[in-house]
Amino acid sequence: MASVPSLASTVQQRLAEGLSAALPEAGSADPLLRRSDRADFQANGILALAKRLKGNPRELATKVVEAIPANDVLGEIEVSGPGFLNITVTDAAIVRTLAARAADDRLGVPFNESAGTTVIDYAQPNVAKEMHVGHLRSAVIGAAMVEILEFTGEKVVRRHHIGDWGTQFGMLIQYLEEHPHELDHKDAEVTGEEAMSNLDRLYKAARRLFDADEEFKTRARRRVVDLQAGDPQTLATWQRFVDESKIYFFSVFEKLDMDIRDEDIVGESGYNDMLNETCRLLEESGVAVRSEGALCVFFDDIKGPDGNPTPLIVQKSDGGFGYAATDLSAIRDRVQNLKASTLLYVVDARQALHFRMVFETARRAGWLNEDVKAVQLAFGTVLGKDGKPFKTREGETVRLVDLLDEAIDRASAVVREKAQDLTEEEIAERGAQVGIGAVKYADLSTSAARDYKFDLDQMVSLNGDTSVYLQYAYARIQSILRKAGDAKPAAHPELALATSERALGLHLDAFGEVVAETAAEYAPHKLAAYLYQLASQYTTFYSECPVLKADTAEQVENRLFLCELTARTLHRGMALLGIRTPERL
Ligand code: ARG
C-alpha cells in the first residue's frame, strides 16, 4: 500500500522550490495552485508575494520560473496576465502517476496523518414506530461518512441512538401485560413487515385505551416508574418491544443494503444508569441550576420568541429525565469510555438548537475540550415534488419501506428495458441495486444541509447527475474490458495523449484529494460531484478516442488502462457512498 502524491501536490512542491530559490527572502510562500481551464493548473500566489515584497509581479514570476529545477513533470510554464503562472504537466507525468495509482489497492489515496477516533451517531429510528423518510437521510449520510472516514484511516465507532426509552413505553408495556399474546408470531420466521404491523396494531390499541380509560392511564403511568426503577418483569416486556422493533429495523436496513450491527445499537436506554450522575456533576459544578424545581442550563444568546432565555432542561421538576440528559450522558460515555476525539451526529437540522445547547453544556462541564470536538452533520428536510414536506396524499408521513419498494420497482423497469443478456433473477437483483443506489445518490449528491425533492422520475433517469448514469458508465467499461480479449490494460508513458485523455487522467489523479476533502468537511456531496464529473469525462473520452480500435497496440493498451482505472475509481468512490456498481447492466 503506497500512497501516491497527486500531480497537483508535485507541481505545488516544484513551484515552492522555485519560489524559495528565486526569492529566499519570501520564506515559505504558498504558490496558490488550482486546476485551471487555460492550462492544467494556475498559480496565483506570486501576486500577493510581489505586493508583500514590493516587486513587479511579472518579473518575480519570470524569476521563479527560471529557478525551477529541470524536471520531467512540468511541461510548460507561462507567465500570464499580471503575474499568474499557467502550468501544463507532461503527458508522461500523467500516465506515470496514474500507473502508480493503479498499482495500489487504495488507488494511491493517502491516509490522514492526524486521524483519530470518531464516534458517529446515525441511523437512529424509534422503537415501536414506523421508519419514515426522515430516517433515510441519517442512515444514508451516516453510512457514507463511516466508509469515507474509515478509508482515510480514522477509527470509527458507530452508535445507533435509537429511541427506546420514555413515557410512551409505560402505555405500551401495560397494554402488552394485559394482552400478552398481541406480539406472538404465527411462524418461527418473522418478517420485518409482520413485526411492524404487530407493533403498529398494538400501538394504536394501547393509545385508544389510554385515551379512553382513566384507570388504564393510571396503571400505564405507574409502569413508567417501574420501568425506570428497573423492575425485572417490566424490563422483560419492554425488551419484547425492542426485539420486535429490531426485526423490523434490520429488514429496512437490509433493503437499504446497509450493514447495521446489533452491538452498535446503543439506544437511549443504554445511558439510563448514568443520568443521575450526569445531573449531579452538572449541578455540583454549577453548570446547571435548579429553576422552579427543574435542573436547567442557561445561555446568554439563546432566547425564546418572548425574549426570555430558553434553558436546556436536564431534569424535569417531577424528577424525570429527557432527551438532553441522555445526550449529555452519551457524550460522557463516548469521550471517557470510547476515547473519541470527534463526536459526529448525523441528525435533522431541526434539532440544531438542541445540539448547540447540549454541546455548550458539555463544554462548560469539561467533557468536550480542545482535544474533543462535537459536530452536528445537520441535514435538511425531504420534500415532495410540490416542494412541501413529503406526505402521502392523505397527509400522512410516508413510510420508508413504501418509498424504497417503489424506487426498486421503477429501477427494475429501467433495467428491464435496457437488459440485453440478463435473466429475470439478474434483473431483480440489479433493479434493487439501481433503485436503492438511486435513492442514496439523490440524498448524497446535494449538500446535506439543503432540503431536497424526492422525485423518483429524476432519480432513476439515465441522463444527468444520477447513480444510474454512473452505474451504466461503470458497466460499459466492464463490457469493453471483457471484449478486449488478449489486449490487456497497460500504461504507456511514452505516448502522446489526446485532450480528453489528459482531462480524464488529471481528474483521476485528483481522487485522493477529493476523498480527503470529503472526509474533512463531512461533505459526501463533494465525492458524488467528483464521480459524476469522472463519468462525464469518461463519456467524452470514449466518444473521442476509440479504445479497442485505436491506431497501435500500445494505444489500445494505454486506453484500456485509462478505462480500467476509471472503473476502479468509480467502483471505489461509489462503495464509499454505499452504492453498488453491478458488472453488467
Ligand atoms: N431518534 C431520534 C429521532 O428519530 C434521533 C436521535 C439522534 N441522536 C441523538 N443522539 N440525539 O429523531
Q: Specify if 437 maps to a domain.
A: yes
Whole-number Å distance between alpha carbons of 468 and 418: 12
- 272, 500, 556, 560 from 546: Cα distances, Å: 65, 12, 8, 10
| Containing structural domain, residue 73 | 7-89
- Which residues of the chain register pLDDT less than 70? 1
Given the C-alpha cell 402521502, which residue does it identify?
392
Q: d(Cα 203, Cα 168) in Å, to the nearest integer?
A: 10
Domain finish residue from 69, 89, 109: 89
CB atoms within 10 A of CB 165: 23
- Establish if 218 belongs to a structural domain: no
Instruction: Answer yes or no: is 459 within a domain.
Output: yes
Each residue's pLDDT tens digit, 14-44: 998 888 888 888 777 788 899 998 899 999 9
Strand locations in 316-369, DSSP E?
Answer: 342-348
- Would 531 be classed as within a structural domain? yes
Is residue 20 one of the residues assigned to a domain? yes
> Which of 89, 110, 135 lies at the terminal end of a domain, its last residue?
89
Nearest atom (ligand 1) to Cα of 327: 10
State how far the Cα of 14 lies from the Cα of 2, in Å rounded to an integer: 21
Cα-to-centroid distance, 572 and ligand 1 (Å): 30
Q: Do 309 and 299 contact (CB within 8 A), yes or no?
A: yes
- Establish if 467 belongs to a structural domain: yes
Taking CA atoms only, the protein residue closest to ligand 1 atom 5 is 124
CA 449 to ligand 1 centroid distance, Å: 17
pLDDT at res. 398 = 86
Residues with Cβ within 8 Å of residue 255, at least 6 apart in sequence:
401, 404, 436
The enclosing domain of 47 has a CATH number of 3.30.1360.70
- On whether residue 470 sits in a domain, the answer given is yes
Confirm if 205 and 181 have CB atoms less than 8 A apart: no
Compute, in degrees rounded to 10, the torsion defined by CA atoms 169, 174, 177, 178: -140
242 Cβ inside 6 Å of ligand 1:
no
Q: What is the pLDDT of residue 1?
A: 62
**Alpha carbons 112 and 128: distance in angstroms, whole number:** 40
Output the CA 350–ligand 1 centroid distance in Å: 11
If you measure from the C-alpha of residue 163 to the centroid of ligand 1, how many angstroms do you get, rounded to a whole number?
A: 7
CA pair distance 212, 220, nearest whole angstrom: 13
Question: Is 500 contained in some domain?
Answer: yes
Single out the residue of 500, 493, 472, 469 nearest to residue 561, CA to CA: 493
The CATH number of the domain holding residue 416 is: 1.10.730.10
230 vs 541: CA distance, rounded Å: 66
Quote the ligand 1 centre to 322 CA distance (angstroms): 12
Exposure of 396 by Cβ count < 10 A (0-12 exposed, 13-18 middle, 19+ buried)?
Answer: exposed
Strands 342-348 and 373-379, by their bridges, are: parallel
From the CA of 134, give the closest atom in ligand 1. Answer: 4
From the CB of 124, is ligand 1 less than 6 Å away? Answer: yes
- Domain total of the chain: 2
Q: Which of 119, 124, 350 has most ligand 1 atoms within 8 Å of its beta carbon, as the pocket-test mutant? A: 124
The b-or-e profile of 376-393 (16+ CB within 10 A means b, else e) is bbbbbbbbbeeeeebeee
Residue 330 CA: which ligand 1 atom is closest? Answer: 10
Rounded to the nearest angstrom, the distance between the alpha carbon of 159 and the centre of ligand 1 is 11
* Domain's final residue, options 89, 108, 143: 89
Q: Which atom of ligand 1 is nearest to the CA of 348?
A: 12
